[in-house]
Amino acid sequence: MRSEADTAKRAAEIAALPIVTWRGQIMRTIRCNGQTGRGPHLMNVPEHLLWALIDFRAYRCAFHH
């Protein structure tokens, strides 16, 4: 659960991310911080995933899990 201040902070962080439209769905671009294979790279993800993440800097895509 997030406090009101944390919710406002996360909303601002999400709003600052670049927007990409894919098949009519709005996606946000975030960096995958995986170190193997392609290494760190940009991923387009739906906004609801961004709300579920604890920290954007720790995000790793499905390939890196």
pLDDT by residue for the chain (65 residues), tens digit each?
778 999 999 999 999 999 999 999 999 999 988 887 777 889 999 999 999 888 888 888 877 76
pLDDT value of position 29: 95
Domain encompassing residue 13: 4-59
Q: CB-hemisphere CA count at 13 Å for 64?
A: 17
Number of domains in the chain: 1
In a domain, 8, yes or no: yes
In a domain, 65, yes or no: no
CB 43 within 8 A of CB 33: no
